[in-house]
Amino acid sequence: MGFGHRWRAWVNECVSTASMSVLINGALSKPFKMERGLRQRDHLSSFLFVLVVVILHRMVGEAVRNGQWVTNICGLLGCTEAVLPVRYLGIPLGANPRLVKTWKLIIDKVEDKFGLWKANVLNKAGKLVLIKSVLNSLPVYYLNLYKMPKGVAEKLIALLTNGFLTV
């Protein structure tokens, strides 16, 4: 994920040497090691999570107001800054899924597959099996993250129909 050695060492330190102090009547108790972690359905764990999220939200908000926070945080965490859209596991993150150009890769893949199959002599049953097993599965990965625009769906259906009739 791009996290540097320093960041990983911090996380390891937090996990391996956890101790707590409790504020009692305005004074901190002696630090003690946690022998049992907070369990699910423990009201304290939910409350602690909410407290941490609120504090993190305030800290990020303050950093945004101060400007240049991305560069500082990247330096602190030991990772690099990237510009969206970024391809991650084959999907363009940060791209607008309502634009046809986001889906251009899928449309091109379908067209390329039909180009390869034109050299093969296939009967109607063989074409149908290839379309159902190979071509229909191409957009499924994108559909896990994005909703397909109607125009793209119509284009893919037209490609599949024409490909079935002509290949």
On whether both 36 and 98 belong to a single domain, the answer is no
47, 77, 107 - which closes a domain: 77
On whether both 67 and 11 belong to a single domain, the answer is yes
Reply yes or no on whether the pLDDT at 28 is more than 80: yes
| Cα 156 from Cα 165, distance rounded (Å) | 14
Mean pLDDT of the chain: 77
Confidence of residue 82 (pLDDT cuts 50, 70, 90): confident
- In angstroms, the first-to-last Cα distance of the chain is 43
> Which of 34, 81, 38, 73 is closest to 56 using CA atoms?
73
Is the pTM for the entire model greater than 0.85? no
Out of 11-15, 67-71, 81-85, 100-104, least confident range: 11-15
In contact, 149 and 97? CB cutoff 8 Å: yes
26, 50, 77 - which closes a domain: 77
On whether both 103 and 64 belong to a single domain, the answer is no
On whether both 66 and 92 belong to a single domain, the answer is no
On whether both 98 and 61 belong to a single domain, the answer is no
Out of 27-36, 47-56, 143-152, 157-166, least confident range: 27-36
Residue 91 inside a domain? The answer is yes
On whether both 93 and 62 belong to a single domain, the answer is no
Encoding tokens for residue 130?
């290839």
Task: Say how many domains are in the chain.
Answer: 2
Domain range holding 153? 87-166
Residue 82 inside a domain? The answer is no
42, 77, 112 - which closes a domain: 77
- At 36 the pLDDT is 56
